[in-house]
Amino acid sequence: MATTQSFICREVAGRVSARSYTIANVPNPNTDQVFVNGVLQNSGATNDYTLSNTTITFNRDIDSDEVVLVNYFLDVYDGSQDNTDTDGITSSLGRTELIH
């Protein structure tokens, strides 16, 4: 059985466009916190942003000099065995991929 650990990731999101940013990993559900210039944003289609996989879409244009910082939890596997969960989904992210 593979071992799973949760890590807190903190990263500056990469700008794709004025409203679209990306992060390196798919966060655990409902663990994301998105900050613009230090101000916590509210998640939701009628609020400040939505998150789909690794793409953050804002409901307003973000200026290129604003900093988008994201905190989230990420499960990582030790890679010692098959990482297929009970739903048949295989994780492709192991500890060696997370730690460079």
What three-state secondary structure class fits 9? strand
Please check the confidence at residue 99 and state whether its pLDDT lies above 50: no
The tens digit of pLDDT for each residue in 7-66 reads 889 999 999 999 999 999 999 999 999 999 999 999 999 999 999 999 999 999 999 999
Verdict on whether the full-model pTM lies above 0.75: no
Structural tokens at position 23: 């992060």
Backbone angles phi, psi at 68, to 5 degrees: -105, 110
Pairing of strands 55-58, 49-52: antiparallel
For 42-97, give the DSSP string. Answer: PBSTTSSEEEETTEEEESSPPPTTS-EEEEEEEEEE--SS--B-TTSPBP--BHHH
